[in-house]
Structure 1
Amino acid sequence: MTSIVIPAHNEGRVIGRLLDELLADTSAALPAATSAPSGAGAQTTDSTDIVVVCNGCTDDTARVAGARGPRVRVVEIPTPSKHEALRVGDAHARGFPRLYVDADVVFGSAGVRALSAALADRPDLLAAAPGRDIPLTGCAWPVRAYYGVWQRLPAVREGLFGRGVIAVSERGHARIAALPPLMADDLAASLAFGPGERRVVETARVVVHPPRTWSDLIRRRVRAATSSAQLEHAQAAGAAGAPAADAAAAQPVASARTGTADLRALLRAQPGLFPGVVVFLAAAVVARRGARRAVRTGDFSTWLRDESSRRG
């Protein structure tokens, strides 16, 4: 049985569209790895296990999710913590492959089947994520310019982060279950797997709604800069011989930070991207400045949320 865990904090405006897509197309069969035991017949997507963990919600997220029927199990916890929501979701999930899906993306049952099939076809593959579509219509031009560069970066194209969906096998789950609570949970999960252990499945597609304004983009980038610093501190602690409880999950791994060499390579290949690179660098400088206080004080819990991507 494929399990889908959806952490949701005040996502009443958008979680319905995600659940409707996940619940659609119930007649198609899941891949063999998620089939019923021999002789019992293949399971359909009706057997997909969906758990929505409403964490610290003060809106109607639980009501909206619960209205989708018995195939959606809603768990409510008082703590507004994505990490805690993922932990609770794991405790309620019933099977593998297991998908972790952000409530504000749009991802359908066909994508679930594609990711499940990819993990079933290769036992050495521990984690997978879908290809991303970022609709930029209605976004301010600096936002469009920023994403015109960001989407072309090698780490962004090849990593599992920034997609809002990660699928893991049972072995892959054991790898990420050891990770400490981090703001950059998807980045940490992506970097927990080597290139041969993870895969972006382009036939599966997820729609990731971007911020519409420059200020909301900067809020996202400040959060990303803060969370990347937290992850690097955790890696350094593990490399320096932190206590076993932390070091097991804080091994030194590859970084996904963008280097000047990546930007120079982009410009050599596509000189027309120069204005976008300028915008990208400006956003990076502003975001790092904005993250300094949080990094200095160790504030890795303040979640700077972009509301503009949740409109409509």
Structure 2
Amino acid sequence: MTVSVIIAAHNESTVVGRCLSALREGGADIDVTVVANGCTDGTAEVARGYPGTRVVELAEAGKAGALNAGDAVAASFPRVYLDADMALTGTQIQVLVTALDEPGVLAATAVRRMVTRRSALPVKGYYAVNNRLPLFRDALFGRGVIALSKEGRARFESFPGVVADDLFLDSLFARGEKREVPAVVSRVAAPRRTRDLVRRLARVRAGNRALRAASPAARPAQNTSWLRDVTLRRPWLLPAAVCYVAITAAAELRARRSTGWGRDESSREAVAG
């Protein structure tokens, strides 16, 4: 079974090689498309250095446009949307899509593991709470990888022009149609600095707000879950909860004021280094 993997890459020259190298491990039958969108670095050149990788270049930056361009040329199903800073092996991709063979399962994702070893203490505190939020038990977002069956991909025509592509996909499927695959772990590098986390969260919150305004089916925000489901049940997390609330408030303020890209670069520095 051939699996099509689509990677939307905006100025990802420091990490896309690592992503593509991992995909070649295990000898899986994978059709890989890298869509370099609005790049001013060597992302496309790095991707072309991996034989068998299809490279599409777009002048305009934008993840939705990149994913749609990748879908237009991808050859097979299942379809996997993979972030350029993720390093999943070809074997892991095959295990992930195997979950789509289960009756009624149309979408699959990996277990999320936040890597905070190099992060500042407030960042570690934020994720001590965030990692325990129950919404991640049945969600597709925040993992850096989502696999869809052909039937699952037929749920929509194209990605909408919003930042929150993973929340968009999550909104298309009922709980029983989604599967988290325990055997596949997505290691997500947390920002090193607090200001980088605030910038990343502001971008996410702005994108989520735009999607929820456009799509009533999108999962609603759960603004008190950090307290009700996490902190009150684990009082020893109170110092971490202070970090969580402060960073979340700062990100919300920034999201309301700013329209910038807001991508965290510090986690990419960590990967590159």
Tell me the distance in 2 between the aligned counterparts of 1:187 and 1:261.
Answer: 18
- Deviation for aligned residue 1:178: 4.8
Q: Partner of 2:94 in structure 1?
A: 113
In structure 1, list runs of 5 or more residues that go unmatched.
Answer: 27-44, 236-250
Q: Partner of 2:75 in structure 1?
A: 94
Q: TM-score, normalised by structure 2?
A: 0.94
Query: Is structure 2 residue 268 aligned with structure 1 residue 310?
Result: yes
2:35 is aligned with what amino acid?
A: V
Q: Partner of 1:16 in structure 2?
A: 17
Tell me the distance in 2 between the aligned counterparts of 1:160 and 1:264.
Answer: 22
Q: Compared with structure 1, are the counterparts of its residues 217 and 253 closer, same or farther at alpha carbon in structure 2 (3 Å cutoff)?
A: closer
Residues 68 and 159 of structure 2 are in contact (CA less than 8 Å); yes or no, is this contact kept in structure 1? Answer: no
Residues 127 and 199 of structure 1 are in contact (CA less than 8 Å); yes or no, is this contact kept in structure 2? Answer: yes
4+ residue runs over 4 A deviation: none
Tell me the distance in 2 between the aligned counterparts of 1:121 and 1:134.
Answer: 28
Q: Partner of 1:287 in structure 2?
A: 251
Which one of the candidate residues 79, 84, 94 is aligned to 2:60?
A: 79
Residues 164 and 207 of structure 2 are in contact (CA less than 8 Å); yes or no, is this contact kept in structure 1? Answer: yes
- Deviation for aligned residue 1:262: 4.5
Q: Partner of 2:219 in structure 1?
A: 254
Q: Compared with structure 1, are the counterparts of its residues 225 and 120 closer, same or farther at alpha carbon in structure 2 (3 Å cutoff)?
A: same
Q: Partner of 1:228 in structure 2?
A: 208
Q: Partner of 2:31 in structure 1?
A: 49
Q: Partner of 1:5 in structure 2?
A: 6
Deviation digits for residues 254-286 of structure 1 (CA, Å, limit 9, x no counterpart): 32x233244223123211111111111111111
Which one of the candidate residues 145, 168, 172 is aligned to 2:125?
A: 145
Which one of the candidate residues 267, 270, 274 is aligned to 2:238?
A: 274
1:163-202 maps to which residues of 2 (within 5 A)?
163-202=143-182
In structure 2, list runs of 5 or more residues that go unmatched.
Answer: none
Tell me the distance in 2 between the aligned counterparts of 1:172 and 1:59.
Answer: 34
Counting matched residue pairs gives 269
Tell me the distance in 2 between the aligned counterparts of 1:79 and 1:57.
Answer: 8
Which one of the candidate residues 158, 161, 172 is aligned to 2:138?
A: 158
Deviation digits for residues 151-196 of structure 1 (CA, Å, limit 9, x no counterpart): 1101123211011100001111122435522111111111221101
Q: TM-score, normalised by structure 1?
A: 0.83
Tell me the distance in 2 between the aligned counterparts of 1:79 and 1:282.
Answer: 34
